[in-house]
Amino acid sequence: MRENWSVEEIVGRFKDRGMRMTPQRMEVLRLLTEMSHPTAEQLFEKVHARFPFVSQATIYNTLRALKEIGVVAELAGGGQRVLHYEMASGERCHFTCRSCGQIRDVETDEPPIAKDLPKLHGSYRIEDYRLELFGVCPECAEGT
């Protein structure tokens, strides 16, 4: 996975798959860079406000295409059925509050242990990994 994607690279990947980068898809991309772990529904609401004729299917299809080309990562959100999305940017560590469901990026001083794992037997190569932590955030902990 990559840390930063240029618009030209993403457009090129869409073209390689025979897809156009429409204004609606560009808006989804823009929102993904500005919002913190949005759901497809949250993206739909924002895109729909700007492009009233956009459908939810367009949002889901765009997210699926962006995920397939390695530009977007999908987060399960702590066992919830609602998926959250973010721009793919290499190794990430996330904390998901089991009480309120909020997902936060967690900064780590040292890389997680996945880089230190021995190579798998054969020709397997670790290209990406994600560390997900689950618990109760400080705000929810104060309320209990």
DSSP string, the chain: --S---HHHHHHHHHHTT----HHHHHHHHHHHHSSS-BHHHHHHHHHHH-TT--HHHHHHHHHHHHHTTSEEEE--TT-SS-EEEE--SSEEEEEETTT--EEE---SS--GGGGSPPPSSS------EEEEEE--HHHHHT-
Is 137 annotated in a binding site? The answer is: yes
Is 93 annotated in a binding site? The answer is: no
Q: Give binding residues as ranges.
A: 97, 100, 137, 140
Residues annotated within the binding site for Zn(2+) are 97, 100, 137, 140
